[in-house]
């Protein structure tokens, strides 16, 4: 065995060990807070270098313990998560200056990064379940960083309920698969599925797995906690939206061999993913708060990602996961700049697109996607996905109804088409990357998804032309169709909790005086 074969196995799990070391240092070491943050930065950067070396070596160059296995996608995401964790940690050290509880924050954040790294390398049900549970428990401490904020405590309570139910479902999925295969190894499960197909137990295992992922990714109707965690510090929102909530997409891609033969499980993904993408997209159109709109955007994007997995487009789901992580990290860490830009845009007069423009924009976008796809001559995705992407990117080609010069309008069209072409090229590039993912498109489900996205575009077009035409609908949409209210009432009825009464209603009450969580009103 040469030096490389000895070296890379030693560092494959070292990033997780280093992050756990940071958590232990924050819990027991007497170092000052600035020194603790410096230690976090040094060890996090070291973990990033090690993760990069593992990705460079590739799955074939790593020898891992039996319960772990590296994949090209898992290594790429490990680099991404550690990079985001390092950047968010640096941002947090400045953002939280003067705040109490920074040691607790560092310990929880380091634990999240360590558990995510282990989850990305998991090749056994027990490792998968344990690491995902640890991610949720450590994140709870970050969400409750400000213990006097009632909505933060409410959100954490609802997330805790969803996580525990998801844990039970994952255990059930593991028990069913383990009993059928005779091993908890995921690799053994893939081999069994390829050799013998799916029995009733494995179908049921796939369904319970999908339900657990739906709960973990905050799809409707259990999405409310993801909206209300805006009460947590901004870097926590960045970590949650850019990394943690995306783990469901990775798990589905990892379990693609099982899902491809489990039609009922894919049907659930199609149903919940499409509903989340359409309804959350509609709610985004009516919300005003920038951070709340970003949160609803995450719900819609998670629905879209799970929809891609339901349709068998796993490569695009992986690209979506990476792109969403980078975008949301930048969006939350630069939230103040986005707010300033939005306010400046609001000061300008609003000019809606013409009806002809709203009708032609999807056709031009679809034609551009199909043209780039044909020129590339690549085996990428079916026609209905090109049409769906054309609908999603059509707003890039919208023009104001009031003419502002032929040259200016022509340049707007050209720039919009260039953006559509660039996005298509990036999507085609993802298919050329050696991520070890095999797509198996499901055409009937794809047509259903296309019709759903067409309905969303139609609503958007109607709102652009006649905002008052859907007044009653806007009221429901602004309220999130009251789905979270129903879930909150059910959650508090079945699992009541208490919160610390603070200045939520004005002057602070007696410290430590409890009150029912159900007393919170929106």
pLDDT surpassing 60 at residue 5: no
pLDDT at 1: 46
Lowest mean per-residue pLDDT among 211-220, 343-352, 491-500, 505-514: 505-514
Residue 435 vs residue 325, higher pLDDT: 325
Greatest mean pLDDT among 56-65, 115-124, 384-393, 495-504 lies in 115-124
Give 38-53 pLDDT, tens digit per residue.
999 999 999 999 999 8
In percent, how much of the chain has pLDDT > 90? 34
**Choice between 431 and 190, residue whose per-residue pLDDT is larger:** 190
Domain ranges of the chain: 1-121, 147-340, 351-431+438-491
pLDDT band at 465 (very low <50, low <70, confident <90, very high): confident
The answer to whether the CB of 455 falls within 8 A of the CB of 391 is: no
Distance CA 224, CA 219 (A): 9
The proportion of the chain whose per-residue pLDDT surpasses 70, expressed as a percent, equals 85
State the sign of the Cα–Cα–Cα–Cα dihedral 322, 274, 397, 329.
negative
The rounded distance, in Å, linking the Cα atoms of 443 and 332 is 36
Q: Tell me how far apart the alpha carbons of residues 191 and 194 are, in angstroms, rounded to a whole number.
A: 5
When comparing pLDDT for 343 and 472, which is higher?
A: 472
- pTM for this one? 0.88
Which range in 116-130, 438-452, 479-493 is most confidently predicted, on average pLDDT?
116-130
Task: Supply 105's token pair.
Answer: 């924050």
pLDDT at 147: 82
Taking 50 as the threshold, does the pLDDT of residue 211 lie above it? Answer: yes
Which pLDDT score, from 0 to 100, does residue 132 have?
Answer: 95
pLDDT beyond 60 at 378: yes
Q: Which residue has the higher pLDDT, 280 or 500?
A: 280
- 136-150, 294-308, 506-520: least confidently modelled range: 506-520
Contacts of 301 (CB under 8 A, 6+ apart): 320, 324
Mean pLDDT is lowest, of 40-49, 194-203, 466-475, for 466-475
Helix (H) / strand (E) containing 515: strand 514-516
**What is the residue-averaged pLDDT of the chain?**
83
Mean pLDDT, range 478-492, rounded to an integer: 83
pLDDT in tens, 215-254: 999 888 888 888 887 778 888 888 888 888 889 999 999 9
Residue 27's pLDDT band, with cuts at 50, 70 and 90, is: confident
Report pLDDT for 337.
Answer: 65
Longest CA span, the chain: 72
Please tell me the predicted confidence (pLDDT) of residue 520: 41
Ranges 71-80, 139-148, 202-211, 399-408: which has the least confidence: 399-408
Band (502; pLDDT cuts 50, 70, 90): very low
Least confident piece of the model among 24-38, 344-358, 378-392: 344-358
- The model's confidence at residue 406, banded by pLDDT at 50, 70 and 90, is low
- SS3 label, residue 68: strand
Six-digit token string for 467: 């905002």
Reported confidence tier of residue 401, pLDDT bands at 50, 70, 90: low
CB of 161 closer than 8 Å to CB of 140: no
Average pLDDT value for residue range 456-465: 81
Got the DSSP string for 339-387?
HHHHHHHHTSPP-PBPHHHHHHHHHHHHHHHHHHHHHHT-----HHHHH
Instruction: Report the first-to-last Cα separation within the chain, whole angstroms.
Output: 63
Q: How many Cα neighbours within 13 Å face the side chain of 389?
A: 28
The pLDDT value recorded for residue 501 is 44
Per-residue model confidence (pLDDT) at position 238: 87
Lowest-confidence range among 97-101, 263-267, 435-439?
435-439
Judge whether residue 517 has pLDDT over 60.
no
Instruction: Calculate mean pLDDT across residues 154-172.
Output: 91
Q: Which residues pair with 499 in a beta bridge?
A: 515
């Amino acid at each position: 065995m040469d030096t490389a074969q000895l070296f890379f196995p030693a560092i494959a799990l070292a990033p997780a060990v280093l992050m756990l070391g940071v958590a232990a240092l924050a819990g027991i070491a007497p170092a000052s807070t600035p020194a603790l943050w410096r230690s976090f930065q040094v060890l996090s950067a070291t973990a990033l270098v090690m993760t990069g070396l593992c990705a460079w070596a590739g799955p074939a160059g790593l020898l891992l313990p039996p319960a772990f296995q590296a994949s090209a996608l898992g290594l790429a995401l490990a680099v991404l998560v550690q990079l985001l964790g390092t950047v968010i940690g640096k941002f947090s050290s400045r953002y939280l200056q003067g705040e109490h509880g920074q040691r607790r924050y560092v310990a929880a954040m380091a634990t999240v990064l360590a558990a995510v790294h282990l989850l990305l390398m998991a090749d056994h049900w027990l490792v998968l379940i344990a690491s995902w549970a640890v991610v949720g428990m450590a994140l709870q401490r970050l969400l409750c960083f400000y213990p006097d904020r009632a909505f933060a405590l409410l959100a954490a309570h609802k997330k805790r309920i969803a996580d525990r139910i998801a844990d039970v479902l994952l255990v059930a999925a593991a028990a069913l698969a383990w009993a059928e295969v005779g091993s908890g190894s995921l690799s053994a499960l893939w081999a069994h599925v390829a050799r013998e197909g799916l029995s009733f137990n494995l179908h049921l295992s796939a369904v319970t797995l999908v339900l657990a992922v739906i709960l973990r990714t905050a799809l409707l109707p259990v999405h409310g906690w993801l909206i209300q965690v805006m009460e947590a510090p901004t870097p926590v929102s960045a970590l949650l939206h850019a990394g943690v909530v995306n783990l469901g997409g990775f798990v589905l891609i990892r379990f693609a061999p099982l899902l491809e033969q489990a039609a009922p499980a894919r049907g659930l993904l199609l149903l919940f993913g499409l509903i989340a993408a359409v309804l959350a997209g509609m709610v985004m159109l009516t919300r005003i708060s920038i951070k709340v709109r970003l949160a609803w955007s995450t719900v819609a994007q998670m629905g879209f990602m799970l929809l891609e997995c339901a349709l068998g487009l796993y490569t695009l789901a992986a690209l979506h996961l990476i792109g969403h992580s980078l975008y949301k990290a930048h969006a939350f860490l630069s939230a103040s700049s986005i707010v300033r830009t939005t306010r400046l845009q609001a000061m300008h007069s609003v000019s809606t697109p013409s009806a002809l423009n709203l009708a032609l924009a999807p056709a031009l976008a679809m034609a551009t996607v199909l043209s780039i796809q044909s020129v590339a001559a690549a085996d990428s995705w079916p026609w209905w996905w090109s049409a769906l992407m054309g609908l999603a990117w059509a707003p890039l080609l919208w023009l104001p109804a009031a003419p502002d010069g032929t040259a200016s309008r022509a340049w707007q069209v050209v720039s919009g088409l260039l953006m559509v072409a660039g996005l298509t090229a990036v999507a085609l590039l993802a298919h050329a990357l050696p991520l070890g993912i095999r797509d198996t498109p499901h055409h009937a489900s794809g047509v259903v998804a296309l019709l759903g996205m067409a309905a969303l575009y139609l609503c958007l077009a109607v709102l652009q032309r006649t905002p008052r035409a859907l007044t009653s609908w806007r009221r429901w949409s602004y309220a999130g169709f009251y789905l979270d209210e129903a879930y909150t009432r059910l959650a508090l009825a079945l699992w009541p909790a208490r919160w610390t009464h603070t200045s939520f209603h004005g002057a602070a009450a007696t410290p430590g005086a409890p009150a029912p969580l159900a007393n919170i009103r929106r």
